[in-house]
Amino acid sequence: MPEKYWLDTSLWRDFYEDRISKAGNPLGEYAARLFMKILKRKDKILFSESLIWELKKDYDEQGINDMLNLLFMNNVLVKIEIKKEEYQESKQLAQEKNIPFVDCLNAVQARNNNVVMVSQDRHFHENLKDITKTIKPQDII
């Protein structure tokens, strides 16, 4: 049975920009290897409009389409709607924990859809671990 993942926006950027961490870790390579593993296994990546919101901060529509199209064409990406309750819960979590709203929304949607949250971001691993379990991409590949 295929695995299902929710990828933090930073992983998309890591891959697309081939980023390297301040400590010298090859974040882009980790993300690329994760995407390849997902494609080979025909796993699924769930996402919602929140991914597009975040990507629009730095990319135009063509750049976003370039990032997503290969996965769409291979039936890997599954778009889900943001439910009103998820939006409200995430807004409250963001205020309580002083964490960006979209990150809270990603964690809530990952939990509600029983998928593995994948992120390098510390606040997922530390501050949102009561919402959803988060794994780093290098721990999957």
The pLDDT of residue 84? 98
DSSP secondary structure string for all residues of 62-98: HHHHHHHHHHHHTT-EEE-PPPHHHHHHHHHHHHHHT
List for the chain the helix, strand, coil content (%; round to 5): 55, 10, 35
Residue 1 has pLDDT above 80, yes or no: no
Domain 4-139: CATH superfamily, name plus number: 5'-nuclease (3.40.50.1010)
Q: What are phi and psi of 9, to 5 degrees?
A: -55, -30
* 3-47 residue pLDDT tens: 999 999 999 999 999 999 999 999 999 999 999 999 999 999 999
The amino acid at 130: D
The pLDDT of residue 73? 87
The pLDDT of residue 96? 96
Please state the separation of Cα 123 from the chain's center in Å. 13
Question: Which pTM does this prediction carry?
Answer: 0.92
Token representation of residue 109: 């949607």
The pLDDT of residue 72? 87
* 60-115 residue pLDDT tens: 999 898 889 888 888 999 999 999 999 999 999 999 999 999 999 999 999 999 99
Question: Percentage of residues in the chain with pLDDT exceeding 90?
Answer: 88
Please state the separation of Cα 33 from the chain's center in Å. 15
